[in-house]
Amino acid sequence: MGKNQHSKDQLHQRPTEWAQDGGGFKANRWTPFSKLPLNCCFLSLQPFDKPVATRDGCIFDIMHIVKYIKRFGVHPCHGGKLEVSELVPLHFHKNAQGQLHCPVTMKVLGNNTPVCANMSSGHVYSTETVLELNKKTKNWTDLMTGQPFKWADICIIQDPDNIEGREIAKFHFMQQGQQDEVIQEITNPESK
């Protein structure tokens, strides 16, 4: 062992080390993240009155999405083709306080709750309820109506582990710069 063994071990960082390790000013590389709440329309970004959904889990207010489809003919979130006939009406259930809840377990559906919809009946449940009462027991009937369905009819509306689908900045109409047109002509109450 040499007597100068720890001569480079210093209690401070040199400017070159600091710069190499990522210190210093950085340009803003990230846009502010904003996740759409569960009870909001993906197009108007406002709470919905008459919700409808697509098979990919996007929720819209029927009044806004029909106008958008007639005008642009594409899906507002990812830009693929979308027809009005592909929309499925959803049945959300609310408790006495006006909060969305699962109609079977009565658990409140928050912004971090896994939520799914049975697209054959349109009823919305917590994903935990459907997994426990339908999938594990192989009971392929709707929990509210008794209507038979297939596992392919279950659509994930909100997954807290995969929030990219609810990130507002990644919506097709936002990236195309259509947000002003959507606000003025489609979601405006005075528009026809």
pLDDT per residue over 161-175, tens digit each? 988 888 888 889 888
pLDDT of residue 192: 54
Note whether 117 and 155 are within 8 A (CB): yes
User: Across the beta sheet with 88-89, what order do the strands follow?
Assistant: 59-61, 51-53, 88-89
- pLDDT number for residue 14: 81
Confidence bin at 7 (pLDDT 50/70/90): low
Backbone angles phi, psi at 108, to 5 degrees: -70, 135
Give the model's pLDDT for residue 26: 66
> What are the tens digits of pLDDT across the range 32-62?
667 889 999 999 999 999 999 999 999 999 9
Distance, in Å, from the CA atom of 118 to the CA atom of 73, rounded to the nearest integer, reads 25
Q: Is residue 141 within 8 Å of residue 133, measured between CB atoms?
A: no
Beta-strand (E) ranges in 7-141?
51-53, 59-61, 88-89, 93-94, 100-101, 115-118, 124-126
What residues contact residue 8 under an 8 Å CB cut-off, 6+ apart? none
Domains of the chain plus CATH, in order, are 34-186 (3.30.40.10)
pLDDT given for residue 28 in this prediction: 62
Give the CA distances from residue 115 to residues 65, 67, 70, in Å, rounded to whole numbers and listed in that order.
Answer: 21, 27, 29
Specify the amino acid at residue 79: G
* DSSP structure class, residue 84: G
Which tens digits make up the pLDDT trace of 57-116?
A: 999 999 999 999 999 999 999 999 999 999 999 999 999 999 999 999 999 999 999 999
The conformation of residue 42, written as its DSSP 8-state character, comes to T
Which pLDDT belongs to residue 6?
66
Q: What is the pLDDT of residues 115-146, one digit of tens each?
A: 999 999 999 999 999 999 999 999 999 999 99
Predicted pLDDT of residue 13: 80
The residue ranking higher by pLDDT, 174 or 155, is 155
pLDDT for 30 beyond 60? no
